[in-house]
Structure 1
C-alpha cells in the first residue's frame, strides 16, 4: 500500500499547529496539509464551551496532566502540569487570558538570537494580525481589529458583568504605589491593567474555531512515534505513528507538540543528547545536546482570603450574585504586573552568580521589566464556592530557574520525564516572596479593602500570612504549597536547537513552531505570544517555499 504524501505534515493540533495549518492553507489552497493530533476532537463536548465546568477540565480526559519528578525546592512534591489533550491543545481547556509580555521580554529574545524579527517591533504585526480587539478607539499601531481571535475586557463585554470588588481591588493596588496602566495588551505591561480574555458570549474560542481548518487533513487520536530522517543530508521525509501508520512529506515536517512533547519527539527521532539516546537504544541521527534543556515554566503561590460580611454578595457562590453574565468568563478584573526594586534583586542575583558563575541569568535587572503578576479571583479553584472566599495567584513572570525534559523510554506512549526545577534560584525566591508580600499588603494593609477582606486562610498547620510575616514564613509557604502555572517553554530553544527561522539545526525540512523555541522567559500568559509566533512562522515557511508554488 502506497504511503500517503502531503506537502506539509504538522505534528500537534494545539494552538500553534492550528494557526500554521490554517494560514498555509489560506495563502496557498493548492497545498496538501496534514495535521496530526494525539488527543480527540472535543468540539461537541459541552464542557469545553462554557464557564461553569471550566475547572473540571483540569485532570479530565482532555488533559495530559503531566507529572514532574519530585521537586527538591518544593518539599519533594510532584507537580501536575496541565496541557490540553485535544484538538486546540491548551485553548480547549485554558482559562482564556490574553496578555502580551513586556516589550523588554521580546527585545531580549531578539538580542539573544540576533534576529530582530523576534523583538517586540518584529512581532507586533503578528500580534495585530491575530487579534480582533474590542476597543476600536485603541492605538491602531498596537492592536488588530480584523484578526481571528476576539479579545475583550471584562468590563467592556457586558454591563451586567460587574463584580462588586472591582473598584476596591483596583484602589488597593493604587494605594500601595502601583500605577494604573490604561493600555493593556501593548508592549508596556507594568502596573494595574484590565484583564483581557478571549471568551465571547460565555463561550470559549479554541484555536481551531478561530483559525479555520477547512481543507486541512486532520487526524485526531494520532500519537506520533517519530520523524523519519533519511539520506546523507539528513532530511525529514516522513512521520511514523505509534500504530504503524506512515505519512510522507514532500516539503516539511513541522513539530508543534508543545514544550514537553516536542523535545520527546526529537529524541525519539534520533535528535538530541547522545548519551540519552544511547541509554534507550535510539540510533543517533543528529547530536543536539540542548534538546530538552532550558525548560522555563511559570510558578505561582495560590492563597485564599476570607471576606468580611460575605452576605453582602462579594464573591461567586453568594446567593446575591446570580446574573449569568458573572460566569461567562474568568472571574477576574485586574492583572497586576509588578517590577521589583533593585535593592531586592541585586543581592539575589549576586548569590546566583556565586553559584552559577557566567551562566547566571541577569535579565531580571533589565530596567522596567515586570517580574511578578498577581490576579485576584472572585472564586476559589478546586473547591466549592459559597461566596465567603476569594483566591489570589501570585506568579513569577520571568523565572530564572531552568529545568529539563527527557525520555524515560523509547516508547512513544510513555510520558516525557519532566524536571521543572521550580524555585531553584535565589532570584526566583526573592521575587516571589516580594510579590506575595505585596499581595498580602494590598488585601490586608489598605484602607480600600480593610472593610472587605478579613484574613488569609492558611493551609492546615501553617500560620496565616500577613504583610508583616517574615521572609522565612513566606518562603516556607511557597515551598509547601507553590504550584506549576502550566506555561512550559524553551526546550528546543532558538539559537541552540533551532535557528531563527525555526529550522532544526542539522536536519533539512524540519521545523519547530511552539513554545519550545522560546529562548528566554516571556512574561504574561502565553496564548497571545504563541498566536503571534505561529503567525510569523507561517509567513516564514511560506516565503521559504514560495519558489515552489504553482
Structure 2
C-alpha cells in the first residue's frame, strides 16, 4: 500500500467518515486515507435496533473511558463511553437522530462569522446525508404524532433514519398525557424547531441500526481505509503538518491532515504533537512546537437522570418480552431472518421532547449569564431541557427486579450547561488517554437548571393521568425541594456522551478559539480538526447528527478551496 496521500483523515466516526467519503467522491478523485484505531465493526448482529442500548458494553467497540471523580457529583467517576472501530460512537450510541434547533446554527454562524454554519446551509447538508423513512404503524394518527414536512428531509442519502415500524402499545397514550398536562406535541423534532413532545426519529431502519460505517459503502478506489491504526501524533515540518505516525508507521499527506478523533482524542493527538498548553507539554517532556493554551479547554456535555415507576401489569408489554429469555431468543432469530419482530419494536420507538423553563429564565442564575448567552437561550427554538420516554432502564440498574419489568422510565436531560471542563495530559505516552474532567454541576446556572428541569418534569410524573397506572417508585428524588432535587442529580447524574468544545472554533484573535471557520488549526499549515471538539455551541440535541454535518461542512470547505 502506498503511504502517500492527498488527504489523511484520522478517525472514522460520523465526522471522519462524512468528510473522507465526500472528499473521495469529489470529481478530481483525490487520494484519501481514513485511519481508524479500532476494528472493522462488520458484525451485523451488533446492529439489532432494540439492542442498541447494550452495544456499548462490547469492549471491542468501546474505549471504556471514565471521567475523573466529579467534585459536585459525590466524587463519582462517570461513564464516558466512546466508540471504537469503523463508525465510531455511532456504532454504540442509543440511536437518537436529532438535529437540534435553528437557533443553534444561527449562534454558530454568529460566533464564527460565517453563514455556512447557519441553519439554511446546514439543513441542506442534513438532507443530503439522510434517506428519511416517515412511515408509521397502521392505525396511528400521523397528523397528530408524526407529520414531517418533505422540505426538511432527504430522500437519497447514505444514512437511513426515521420512525420504527412498530411502537409499544403504551407510547401513543403517554404522548396524549403529555398533551393533556400542557406539553405541546411536535410532529417533527428535526424541522429546526424541536420545542414540544415528539416521536423519536431513529438512526435505524427496518430493525437495523444505521452507523457512520454506512457512508463508506461503495467507496471509490481512491479512498483507502485502514483499521487497527491508532494515530499517536501529527508529523510536522516546521509549522506545517505533512503526515501522521501510527504505531511507528508514517503516512504522508501532500495537501492536508484532518483530525476527526473526537472531543476526547483529537486534543490528545495534538498535545503529543507538541501543539497544546505549554505547561502541560513541558511537564511531560513533550517538545513545544506551537503553544496553544485553549486546546483541551471548554469541554461541555449534556447530562441526565432517570425517573422510574413500576406500572400495572396491563399498562405495558415489556415484562412478557424482557422477562422471558425464550421469547427474546426466538425474537433474535426472527430479526436475523428479516429484521422484524419484537427486537424491532421494544425500546425502538420513544417519546422525546424539548421544552423551555420560565422559572429558569426568571432566576438570578440566568440573569447573571453573559448577554450573548442570555440572548441565545431566549431564542424561540432553543430549549432549556429534554424529556425522553421508554428508556430501557432495566439494563442499567444492577439487579433490576424481574417483577418490576412493567415500568415507565422518564429521562430528564440538562441542557445548555455553562460548566466548562477540560481534558488534560496525564502521561508522555501518546497511547494513554487524557484526564477527562467535565466539571458537572460546577456552575450555578447548571445547578438551577437541573433543579427546575426536574421539577418541571413532575408536571407529568405526578399528574393523575400518569400516576393512575403506577404501582410504586423505583427511582426519584425524596421530595421536590431544591435541596432534594439537586441531591438527586448529584447522586445519579450520567453523561449523555455528547462531549464537545475542546478544540473550539472561532474567529482569529478569540482567546478561546483554536481553529478558524474553515477548520484550520490557527498557526499550523496543512492541519485541520473536524469533529465535535470544534463545535462552539452546545447543540440542543443528541449530537451524532451534528457530528455528521460537521464533517460534511469541512468537506465543502476543502472541495472549494482545492477546487476538487
Is TM (by shorter chain) over 0.5?
A: yes
Q: Map 1:100-179; keep pairs closer than 5 Å.
A: 100-135=99-134, 138-154=148-164, 158=165, 161-179=166-184
Structure-2 change in CA distance of 1:21 and 1:375 (3 Å): same
- 2:140 match: none
How far apart, in 2, do the equivalents of 1:26 and 1:504 lie? 25
Pairwise CA distance, 1:528: 1.5
How far apart, in 1, do the equivalents of 2:81 and 2:251 lie? 29
- 2:384 match: 371
- Pairing partner for 1:487 from 477, 498, 505: 498
> 1:71-102: CA deviations, max 9, x gaps?
11101111111110111101111121111111
- Pairing partner for 2:443 from 425, 432, 453: 425
How far apart, in 2, do the equivalents of 1:398 and 1:358 lie? 15
Pairwise CA distance, 1:338: 0.9
Pairwise CA distance, 1:251: 0.6
- Pairing partner for 1:465 from 466, 477, 496: 477
Structure 2: 5+ residue stretches without partners: 136-146, 332-339, 507-512
> 1:380-408: CA deviations, max 9, x gaps?
23256663223222112322111001111
Could you tell which deviates more after superposition, 375-384 or 101-110? 375-384
SS of residue paired to 1:217: strand
Asked whether the 8 Å contact 2:167–2:349 carries over to 1, the reply is no
Could you tell which deviates more after superposition, 517-526 or 210-219? 210-219
How far apart, in 1, do the equivalents of 2:315 and 2:195 lie? 34
SS of residue paired to 1:66: coil
> 1:194-221: CA deviations, max 9, x gaps?
1000212211112122343442211111
SS of residue paired to 1:179: coil
Pairwise CA distance, 1:517: 0.8
> 1:41-68: CA deviations, max 9, x gaps?
1113623445337415336221112111
- 2:45 match: 46
- 1:435 match: 453
Structure 1: 5+ residue stretches without partners: 459-463
Q: RMSD of aligned C-alpha atoms?
A: 2.5
Asked whether the 8 Å contact 1:337–1:372 carries over to 2, the reply is yes
Pairwise CA distance, 1:443: 2.6
Q: Map 1:183-222; keep pairs closer than 5 Å.
A: 183-212=188-217, 213-215=219-221, 216-222=223-229
SS of residue paired to 1:41: coil
SS of residue paired to 2:244: strand
1:452 aligns with 2:464: no
- 1:403 match: 421
- 1:272 match: 276
> 1:275-311: CA deviations, max 9, x gaps?
1111111111212111111111111112321112358
How far apart, in 2, do the equivalents of 1:489 and 1:480 lie? 24
- 1:337 match: 354
How far apart, in 2, do the equivalents of 1:528 and 1:446 lie? 36
> 1:334-379: CA deviations, max 9, x gaps?
10111111555532224x55xxx89977743445420211111253
1:382 aligns with 2:400: no
How far apart, in 2, do the equivalents of 1:49 and 1:309 lie? 27
Pairwise CA distance, 1:149: 1.0
Structure-2 change in CA distance of 1:10 and 1:476 (3 Å): same
Structure-2 change in CA distance of 1:445 and 1:139 (3 Å): closer
- Pairing partner for 1:499 from 516, 527, 535: 516
Asked whether the 8 Å contact 2:391–2:411 carries over to 1, the reply is no
